[in-house]
A and B are shown apart, each in its own frame.
Chain A
Amino acid sequence: MRKQVIQIENLTKVYQNGFKANDQINIHLEEEEIVGIVGPNGAGKTTLIRQILGLLKPTKGKILIHGKDTLGDQRIIKEEVGYVPQIPLSYPAITVIDTIRYALQLEGLYGKQLQQKLDMTLSNLGLESYANVPGYQLSGGLRKMVLLAIALAKKATILLLDEPTSMVDIARKQDIWKLMKRLQKRSILLASHDMNEVKKVCHRIYILVGGRVIAKGSAAEIAQMLKMPVDIEIVPINADYIMPILQKESILWEQEGSLFRISLQELSEGIELLKELINAGGIEYLMMESPSFEKVVTNLVQTNAQ
């Protein structure tokens, strides 16, 4: 088992107005691992991240970074954690290049080494053409890119990314996902609404609803947690062959011209049926919606909200 870089134990946060934003949360992040936190608005993702950063005081529980309790000494947070906030913040008067240069200087880089790292960071994030633009002129997406550049400039072993690709265009999103996967020496805790993003980049996922962790595991493990109906649409080569199969099985189906719509309880049932249909006479057209990760998460969230 790899070393745990973040351990969150029984973390509870109750705001002054009595609202419980986090309730007995237990989460861990291992070395070189990408862990996602998924949940609807108000689930407590940002509250959790702000507590890890030492910006909010936990009501109960422990946060350990590299085994050190952050409540007693926050220096470990500054040394080991890079952060991209959810809100697209910027230093309004400072240019992109100056902001990133400053972040690199704080890491002790000067001269040629600084220039090389600066050029590399700008190029990695596609920010070269915005280098001399001040913060107040940047779009929300570009501000996010600059914040990501600052986080990457740090020698931190842990990155806390709070919706890093919100407001970012789809091409840049793909670049960021690739970049995240390339950062193998770092551990990433990623809070996101984007199921596609979480599914693509995260090794493990925690689903947060109403401040509690309601499910955890890999995207595949979570997708298997609930039985999801499968919808299949087919156009058979010859309808005569499939009628006895559909009538034989206790399944729901309807016909619209040559198109058959079939509903099944599970993916495995769908696969078996398709095999049978192909063997019987073949299929001209197939459209199958299998249980998606997004659907499972939505179901889990809705079930727990009720």
Chain B
Amino acid sequence: MLFEIKGMKIFWLQIFMSLFVMPTAFLFLALLRIGPDSEEVAFLLSGFIVASLVGSFFGALALRICNLMQIEVLELYSTFALSKGEIISNMAFTYALFALPQILISIVVLAFTSPSFNAFLMSFSILWVILLIALLAVWLGLVVRNYYYALGIFPLLAWISILLTPAYYDMAKLNPIFQMVLFINPITHCLSLLRIGLGLTPPLHFLWSLLYTSILFGLLLILTLKRIKDIYILEKLF
């Protein structure tokens, strides 16, 4: 992991901007809205945490996985005595570390402003959501593989995922068809898990979300391990 961090030295400004400055700017905007209504703060910041994980962490990690699939990068990593699984898990861990600062700031604010803040549930939910999003990013990165396609696909996917998550709006006010679409989106379930820890009424039932994310996690884990075992140079780029 230290090697991965050292390797990022020359990209520090890009990483700092995309993984910290930009998400923190949104956090700052959300904090500006803080008023006497603690429930609104919890609603906005939980939405921010999920949106920031999808917008910055998911996109950056998925792109890095696609970058790893490029011929010269695969060749470079194959010079070391590292398995592909080790390389990928270290990448995921490193990017998760970079995504943590603004999440930790949000959690501190929530701990002080939200009367129903449940530290245990919140910690569990955050860790679970990070794991799930990391796995989703790795799997999608291994499916897309083509870095040049990925540059277009992942920002779009992140944007659609955030749009179809009731991060900043109330799901109950939508018509049933839209509600169904949001129910399919795993990010809605991530948000639901976070809001439980803040004592908010989640968009979906806690058990539903836990079951949905657990099944998805298991499925993604199997598919990802299978893909990692079968990593070969992408023979057809376009």
A residues neighboring B (CB under 8 Å): 15-17, 50, 53-57, 74-75, 78-79, 82-85, 87, 89-94, 98, 102-103, 106-107, 134, 136, 147, 150-151, 154, 156
Q: Which residues in A have their C-beta under 8 angstroms from that of B176?
A: none
- In the complex, whether B72 has a CB less than 8 A from a CB of chain A is yes
Q: Are B8 and A93 interface neighbours, CB within 8 A?
A: yes
Expressed in whole angstroms, the Cα–Cα distance for A134 and B9 within the complex equals 11
Q: Which residues in A have their C-beta under 8 angstroms from that of B10?
A: 92-93, 134, 136
* Interface secondary structure of A, over-half rule: loop
* Nearest B residue (CB) for A95: B6
Cβ contacts A to B, 8 pairs, < 8 Å? A53-B78, A74-B83, A74-B229, A92-B7, A94-B6, A106-B80, A147-B79, A156-B81
- In the complex, whether B88 has a CB less than 8 A from a CB of chain A is no
Expressed in whole angstroms, the Cα–Cα distance for A78 and B83 within the complex equals 7
Q: Are B78 and A83 interface neighbours, CB within 8 A?
A: yes
Expressed in whole angstroms, the Cα–Cα distance for A156 and B79 within the complex equals 11
Q: Are B75 and A93 interface neighbours, CB within 8 A?
A: no
A-B interface contact total, Cβ < 8 Å = 77
Q: Which residues in B have their C-beta under 8 angstroms from that of A54?
A: 78, 232
- In the complex, whether B82 has a CB less than 8 A from a CB of chain A is yes
B residues neighboring A (CB under 8 Å): 3, 6-11, 71-72, 74-76, 78-83, 229-230, 232-233, 235-236
Which of A78, A79, A98, A107 touches B6 (beta carbons < 8 Å)? A98
* Nearest B residue (CB) for A58: B232
Known: A87-B72, A93-B7, A136-B10. A150 touches B79 (CB 8 A): yes
Q: Which residues in A have their C-beta under 8 angstroms from that of B7?
A: 91-94
Expressed in whole angstroms, the Cα–Cα distance for A136 and B236 within the complex equals 28
Which of B3, B80, B83, B233 touches A55 (beta carbons < 8 Å)? B233
Q: Are A103 and B78 interface neighbours, CB within 8 A?
A: no
Expressed in whole angstroms, the Cα–Cα distance for A84 and B3 within the complex equals 20
The 6 closest A-B pairs by CB, nearest first: A93-B9, A93-B10, A89-B76, A85-B75, A106-B81, A57-B232
Expressed in whole angstroms, the Cα–Cα distance for A85 and B73 within the complex equals 11
Expressed in whole angstroms, the Cα–Cα distance for A57 and B83 within the complex equals 17
Q: Are A55 and B75 interface neighbours, CB within 8 A?
A: yes
Distance (whole angstroms) from the CB of B85 to the closest CB of chain A: 11
Q: Which residues in A have their C-beta under 8 angstroms from that of B79?
A: 82-85, 89, 103, 147, 150-151
* Nearest B residue (CB) for A103: B80
Distance (whole angstroms) from the CB of A138 to the closest CB of chain B: 13
Q: Are B83 and A87 interface neighbours, CB within 8 A?
A: no
Q: Which residues in B have their C-beta under 8 angstroms from that of A89?
A: 72, 75-76, 79
* Nearest B residue (CB) for A92: B10
Q: Which residues in B have their C-beta under 8 angstroms from that of A107?
A: 81
Q: Which residues in A have their C-beta under 8 angstroms from that of B233?
A: 50, 55-56
* Nearest B residue (CB) for A53: B78
Distance (whole angstroms) from the CB of A107 to the closest CB of chain B: 7
- Which of B3, B74, B80, B236 has the most A CB atoms < 10 Å from its CB? B80
* Nearest B residue (CB) for A19: B235
Q: Are A102 and B80 interface neighbours, CB within 8 A?
A: yes
Distance (whole angstroms) from the CB of B94 to the closest CB of chain A: 13
Expressed in whole angstroms, the Cα–Cα distance for A146 and B179 within the complex equals 56
Which of A15, A78, A91 touches B81 (beta carbons < 8 Å)? A78
Known: A98-B6, A106-B82, A154-B81. A91 touches B76 (CB 8 A): yes
